Structure 1
Amino acid sequence: MDFTDVSLVALRVFQEVAERGTLTSAAASLGYTQSAVSRQIASLERAAGGPLLERRRDGVRLTAAGHVLLRRAAVVLEQIDAAGRELAGLPADAGAVRLGWFASAGGALVPAAVAALRRTHPGITVTSREGSTPVLVRALRAGTLDLVVVASAPPFRPPDTGSPPLELRTLSERGLLLAVPATHPLAAEDSVDVADLRGQRWIAGHSGDDKLMGVWPGLDERQEIAHTARDWLAKLHLVAAGCGLTTLPPSLLPVVPPGVRVVTVRGGPSEQRRILLAWLPGKLTKPATLLANALSAVGPA
């Protein structure tokens, strides 16, 4: 048996003959001559190495081999037809892309980029999930994510040491900010000195790699943690309620609630933060490229 040269036309003819019950009816349905239908059936029987149809005076009946071929042909033809229907009903650049993002990127950056992509390319489906940088990078290398948005602090090392090195694009780079209650004494100025942060109550939480997030880095004292929360918006609402201070990634500026004053901090080491987009070399599909461009357009804002 050799089905390598069997055509889709022959399979469609065979399917029609099996449904109609006679070569004549199948030919009429397809707009073929009866001899053309007979030739297609003969080509299939040569490939199968035996008869697929039992010819009878009242029509045709499938042999055991014919039943096997019909079952398989139906699957193949349905898949081909489904592909045709899908392609006819979707934009040329439709597809799917899987995105991973670190916690604060979900506050404004990722939703804005996904919304922009939906407006310009509605046929693209984006699925996403939050995670810490190590988790996201492992998923990227395992092939379960196409793009990841991660954060980086000085000295701005690559997200991992794996091979091949990840492709990286800087979406934004800005200084870390401080969120204080609008009624707090530190809210009176646009910037505060790092020394003024001593003795303050903090709202903090642990990231996925167990690093304390929310306390200003490098303070030379044991910090008083008044509240812990992983969710950044929860931290900001606790600040608005006057419960303490927390650091603020610049990416969350668009979602700062009323009652919170955002200030810069003078003194101490530079606390720059980068938002990076990462992907595997040679693995960026067209939908992923379009999402990457949308993230780039939103990132610097």
Structure 2
Amino acid sequence: MDFTDVSLVALRVFREVAERRTLTAAAAALGYTQSAVSRQIASLERAARTPLLERRHDGVRLTAGGHIVLRRAAAALDQIDATARELAGLPAEAGTVRLGWYPSAGALLVPRAIAILRRTHPAITVISREGSTPALVRALRAGSLDLAVVASAPPFRPPDAESPHLELETLAERSLYLAVPATHPLAGADSVDVTDLRGQRWIASPSTRDQERLGVWPGLDERPDIAHTARDWLAKLHLVAAGCGLTTLPASLLPAVPPGVRVVAVRGGPQEQRRVILARLPTPLPEPAARLAEAVRAAVIDVSTPPPRPG
């Protein structure tokens, strides 16, 4: 193996492909052509003298050698970026932190965490992006995120089986609720039975390869009638307020419920709990990332409100 002629561009391209899982998506994210991305990957595989990617009909997957190169490439790129910051004369408490977050965390939790950090450590810059939990985990592995706020549902398995295991800190565990229009027949009680949900119209997110459809009550024993699809949780809630259907509601969004929406608990069936988890690689956190992690913990407490009591 000879990595002496491997360029930083090739390492950055490989990291992006490892995260995006398709050459097309990586090329779009980097502003390159797909052929340019292919050439960079080919140069890296020649240096490694082993295939780094398994080409499949639905994209690419890392080989065993690819996982090794990704881990080393991510560490090398982080060191290069840290050197650039140090040469720029940034103080230790300054710097940029890259944060990922699952969709509903963007309504309240992430903005409040960033606001807290700005008050306590204004020299730290946060760059954030939304994504599904699988996509955020891949980004952590690829070294393009420092921290990720992810969601987990029972049976609360680790988000991936790769090694080394991610450091997972449970920030909160709360119930899942149901949002119904204030004029809806189900809005008259604090709780409804799961059987009352049959035949209802739903507002849900589109399902993707990475993310199952969100918004329909889990385990519903019929094919759901989905009247509207929306990725944004606040859009879903305002559609509920307009009388367009029902949607599920993570407890973290209770403070954001608009007028015209009634929040109820659901009885029967498995207990639907959701965890908010702070995920990162099992390596020491740089000072800026550690300060952001503290702000995220404080924001979780800040947005917590007592849930409605079941009737």
- Structure 2 unaligned runs (5+)? 1-84, 305-311
Whether the aligned pair in 2 keeps the contact of 1:102 and 1:133 (CA below 8 Å) is yes
CA–CA distance in structure 2, aligned partners of residues 163 and 105 of structure 1: 27
Q: Secondary structure at the match of 1:206?
A: coil
CA–CA distance in structure 2, aligned partners of residues 175 and 84 of structure 1: 48
Q: Which amino acid aligns with 1:160?
A: D
CA–CA distance in structure 2, aligned partners of residues 83 and 128 of structure 1: 22
Does structure 1 residue 216 correspond to structure 2 residue 217?
yes
CA–CA distance in structure 1, aligned partners of residues 224 and 247 of structure 2: 12
Provide closer, same or farther for how the CA distance between residues 249 and 207 of structure 1 changes in structure 2, counting only shifts above 3 A.
farther
Q: Which amino acid aligns with 2:157?
A: R
Q: Equivalent residue for 1:227?
A: 228
Provide closer, same or farther for how the CA distance between residues 84 and 229 of structure 1 changes in structure 2, counting only shifts above 3 A.
closer
The ranges of structure 1 where at least 4 consecutive aligned residues each deviate by more than 6 angstroms after the TM superposition are 82-85
Q: Which amino acid aligns with 2:178?
A: L
Provide closer, same or farther for how the CA distance between residues 163 and 229 of structure 1 changes in structure 2, counting only shifts above 3 A.
same
CA–CA distance in structure 2, aligned partners of residues 85 and 137 of structure 1: 30
Residues 205-284 of structure 1 correspond to what in structure 2 (within 5 A)? 205-208=205-208, 209-284=210-285
Paired residue total:
218
Q: What TM-score results when the alignment is normalised by the length of structure 1?
A: 0.69
Provide closer, same or farther for how the CA distance between residues 83 and 292 of structure 1 changes in structure 2, counting only shifts above 3 A.
closer
**Displacement, 1:261?**
0.9
Provide closer, same or farther for how the CA distance between residues 86 and 238 of structure 1 changes in structure 2, counting only shifts above 3 A.
same
Q: Which amino acid aligns with 2:258?
A: P
**Displacement, 1:246?**
0.1
Q: Equivalent residue for 2:151?
A: 151
Whether the aligned pair in 1 keeps the contact of 2:132 and 2:211 (CA below 8 Å) is no
Moved more, 207-216 or 127-136: 207-216
Whether the aligned pair in 2 keeps the contact of 1:140 and 1:279 (CA below 8 Å) is yes
CA–CA distance in structure 2, aligned partners of residues 125 and 193 of structure 1: 46
Residues 79-228 of structure 1 correspond to what in structure 2 (within 5 A)? 86-87=89-90, 93-208=93-208, 209-228=210-229
Whether the aligned pair in 2 keeps the contact of 1:194 and 1:267 (CA below 8 Å) is yes
**Displacement, 1:206?**
2.5
Whether the aligned pair in 2 keeps the contact of 1:146 and 1:283 (CA below 8 Å) is no
Q: Equivalent residue for 1:51?
A: none
Q: Which amino acid aligns with 2:292?
A: L
The structure having more radius of gyration, on CA atoms, is 1
Q: Deviations over 1:264-300 (max 9, x none)?
A: 1111101000011100011411111111111112224
CA–CA distance in structure 1, aligned partners of residues 248 and 135 of structure 2: 23
Whether the aligned pair in 2 keeps the contact of 1:148 and 1:277 (CA below 8 Å) is yes
**Displacement, 1:212?**
1.4
Percent identity over the alignment? 73
**Displacement, 1:85?**
8.1
**Displacement, 1:210?**
4.2
Moved more, 280-289 or 204-213: 204-213
Q: Which amino acid aligns with 1:251?
A: S
